[in-house]
Structure formats: structure tokens, C-alpha cells
Amino acid sequence: MKRQNMPADIPEIRPGQSIELLKELHILTRDGKLNQDTRRKLKQVYHLYQLIEPLLADVQSIADHGAGKSYLGFILYDLFFRERESGHIFGIETRQELVEKSRDLAARLGFMRMSFLNITVEESTHSSALPEQIDMVTALHACDTATDDAIRFALTKQARHIVLVPCCQAEVAAAMRAGKSAALAKTPLSELWRHPLHTREIGSHLTNVLRCLLLESHGYQVTVTELVGWEHSMKNELIIAKKMNEKTPRPQQIARERALAILREFNIEALASRFAYPQP
């Protein structure tokens, strides 16, 4: 496919970036222009890419869960994998119409090492359409427990890198509400989530804390930062996990013990199978 040159009046666009792709992703208008909203979106896309790019040196395969329109997968392929001889990106999405659109776009752009699967995150763990090992797993705004399914997928596939932007975490808050009476009798800390608004807020925060401890218990070094404004969402917490080369059983065991202690303190021990399961 013939590449379109970067518009001279849009210096923000990276050299070599596919203009057709940016139009398809609605980052550029159909006449190749940027307005205020699309300029902000382009800045957000590049900010995310800059955070991920340093991790890509040893990556040959990426599984993008809850891919949606596959913004991330297409940008990663266009800016990094397109000029390489190898490397494959798998977009995993439950909405068939989005999967078909992504397949069509990849074919038109000549992005031959992109595949799109119409399956759930949970189903993908056992799908024969994916290799036994995946180097990087991403999940941006995978709602509620889909993020946890992506983590389990990453651990099963022995991923070296995991990139998560969690969204709409409700499971922990629901468990906290269910055990609120017992918690109020057990500890004064339960005042932190006595009111429904606080239950939702602390439940969301606690979910990500437990996810980080789970990743650490499986031998990952975890960094938590902000991904400001991605898709105009308030859910902008970015979790990046890197598998450590050396075996560190003691820190891993400590992380799991702390997760279990937190589950007990918040009276949600029933969620141990999701947040504190041991290594296989």
C-alpha cells in the first residue's frame, strides 16, 4: 500500500506515521486536519506509546484484551512493528462488528501481522488461535473483572510485560457492601467504607492495590502511574508490570501474605481466589 506523507502543517505527527490510519481512528479529519479535540487525542495516543515503547525491545507478540477499535494495537504496529521483519499483535474483542472492522482496516493498510479474535478474555486463555507464550499483554479499560482475567491470561502465558488501565471495578465494592455489618463490628477501619460513595471509591482503589500485590507475588516489578485523559476517561491509572529475571521467592511470598491480610482486614476473604492465588 502506498504510504501518505506527513502533512507539512501538522508537525505533531511522527515521521512515517500512516495518515490513512490516523483518519480511520478519527485522530485526523477526513481532509487530513487536526482540530482541538483530535489534537488532544493525538497527544494522548503518543503519550501512551511513549510509555510502552521502552518495553518493546524484546517483544515479539502482544495480546491486546478488550481491544475495541484497536487504537493501541494499530498504533503499536504502525510505529514499531511495521518496519520490523517479525512481531505479531492479537486484538481480543467480544463485539463481532468491531473485530470485522479491525480485520478490514488491517488488510487495507497491509498490516499482515495483526489478528483479531472474537472471544472473551477468559476464553482466550485456552484458545488455539493464540501461541502458548505471549510477550506482552495489554488491557485498556477492560471493565470490572475483565482486567483480572487479562492478568490471569498474562500469568498463564508467561508474559514478560503487562500494561493495564483498569476500569469500572465493582466486584470488590460489592463484596465490601455484603460484609459491611460484620466489618463494622470487627474494626473501626470499616468507617472508611461505611458510606456507599466511599465504598465505591475505596473498593476501586483497593482492587488495583490487590492487583499489584498479585503481580508482585508472581515475580513482577510493578509501577503505577497516571495515564492522563486517555479517551477522555477519569479512569487513568496505569499499571505496568515487568517480569523479573531472578527468582525472588521471599518478596513474592511477602506480597501474597500482605494481599491475604488485606482481604481479611476488609472482610472480603472470599475474593482470595482472584487476588491471592499462588503460582502454578
85-105 pLDDT per residue, tens: 999 999 999 999 999 999 999
| pLDDT given for residue 4 in this prediction | 52
| pLDDT given for residue 247 in this prediction | 65
Task: Say which CATH superfamily domain 13-168 falls into.
Answer: Vaccinia Virus protein VP39 (3.40.50.150)
Mean pLDDT check: name the lowest of 70-74, 80-84, 243-247: 243-247
Look at 216 and 181; give whichever has higher pLDDT: 216
| pLDDT given for residue 271 in this prediction | 93
127-159 pLDDT per residue, tens: 999 999 999 999 987 777 889 999 999 999 999
What CA–CA distance (Å, rounded) separates 277 from 275? 6
| pLDDT given for residue 43 in this prediction | 82
**Domain layout of the chain by residue ranges:** 13-168, 170-219+243-275
| Highest-pLDDT range among 88-92, 226-230, 249-253, 268-272 | 88-92
226-242 pLDDT per residue, tens: 876 544 445 678 999 99
Look at 78 and 17; give whichever has higher pLDDT: 78
